[in-house]
């Protein structure tokens, strides 16, 4: 089960997301569904189409399956999904 404490160790594809902060002002406030993930990017399906959001210098608010919201600094997610999933919870989650 995905919880705020272990969200980084789970698959993010399929979760709803809001870009709560970003250095690019055009990315701030974008919301959608995560359809793919690379080492440096989250790929979102939004109402404006598919958007590629860099993880570094962005903050993401994820809606977990239990309808709980968790905000994550994108810099802690800058790893390939396979390596991130195998990490222990050493990184910070707010």
Residue 88 pLDDT: 55
Mean pLDDT of 54-81: 94
SS3 label, residue 23: coil
- Ramachandran quadrant class, 14 (left: phi over 0; alpha: psi -120 to 50; beta: rest): left
Domain annotation for the chain: domains and CATH numbers:
7-82 (2.30.30.210)
**Cα–Cα distance, 79 to 89 (Å, whole number):** 14
| pLDDT tens-place string over residues 14-48 | 999 999 999 999 999 999 999 999 999 999 999 99
Tokens matching residue 41: 């990017």
Dihedral sign computed on CA atoms, order 28, 77, 79, 8: negative
Tokens matching residue 81: 């999904």
Mean pLDDT of 3-22: 93
Mean pLDDT of 43-65: 96
The alpha carbon torsion through 17, 28, 46, 65 (nearest 10 deg) reads 10
| pLDDT tens-place string over residues 76-90 | 999 888 888 776 544
Judged against a pLDDT cut of 90, whether residue 92 lies above it is answered with no
């Amino acid at each position: 089960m995905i919880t705020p404490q272990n969200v980084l160790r789970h698959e993010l594809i399929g979760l709803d997301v809001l870009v709560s902060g970003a250095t690019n002002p055009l990315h701030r406030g974008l919301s959608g569904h995560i359809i793919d993930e690379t080492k440096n990017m989250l790929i979102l399906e939004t109402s404006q189409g598919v958007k590629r959001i860099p993880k570094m210098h962005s903050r993401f608010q994820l809606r977990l399956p239990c309808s709980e919201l968790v905000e994550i600094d994108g810099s802690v997610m800058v790893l390939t999904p396979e390596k991130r999933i195998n990490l222990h919870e050493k990184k910070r989650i707010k």
